[in-house]
Structure 1
């Protein structure tokens, strides 16, 4: 299986790569359109700002490729936020694969960014969470989020409820970092790769 990790110039690319290697696969980090298009699975990770990540995607002329990719896609953290239609972080348009905006996490009096372990309440019927107990802990680092919406398949609470996973057709997004979430995160990545 050809697994591609989109090179957005972000810092967690290699941790995502190693989490997949530990499962017995050989992923490649790339922004070469031909390699991305021929891949069987596409991961869109991200740590940093939406503006910088979108600049890299535009610069590499990958917008149409991502929008027309018909095989499974997994957006991770900032990568999930880029799947929405716009972000308040820099007030920019994003990929628009989900007609949902991303806004600052209204955490009430809790500090931002939201950093650390938090429970994820998920839809047990979705393949992404098969074999993962509900209310499992996953690792988060973010200040922006999607509100609960029609694509939400999991949510978490940090002052307010927010979407911690979304799904539509072939596209999945998780706000947490599965590559840093121990055995549950490893199981989620495995579930995605086995779709």
Structure 2
């Protein structure tokens, strides 16, 4: 039984060699997620090495970087305390500012080190699922966290769809490319 749909189209002739090897690749579905995705990168530390390296490679029109300094500039120095429920303690004006700061990206990537305070990532992760936005984490193990202290990744793990633990710097750009945030 053959089914036809306007959402599915046959592959061009130049890709027919793949069809012989991978028969499931006979059709491509043109979908919105094939377009460049908008990504919000939330760094847990304003001097994050991976964020600095990614920014140095040039502007990416589909990637917005945010960190603790950006958050405090918008919300005020005492916007939240790690020991309290930050979102529950906000005024209506602060809630509106938080929504503006969070935006509506397709994907959120929380970047940091095991030694970083995860509070900003936790706050964002609690707010984004209500908007059906996928949250991923990229956490570096460091010399400071070599003693098996995984408090940052453990705090973010239940809030992220995917969390990647790495031992070195330089993974952010590769992850952004893999997530479809390039031109």
TM-score class, shorter:
0.3 to 0.5
TM-score, length-normalised on structure 1? 0.39
Query: Larger C-alpha radius of gyration, 1 or 2?
Result: 2
User: More helix by proportion, 1 or 2?
Assistant: 2
- Structure richer in strand, relative to its length: 1
TM-score, length basis structure 2: 0.41
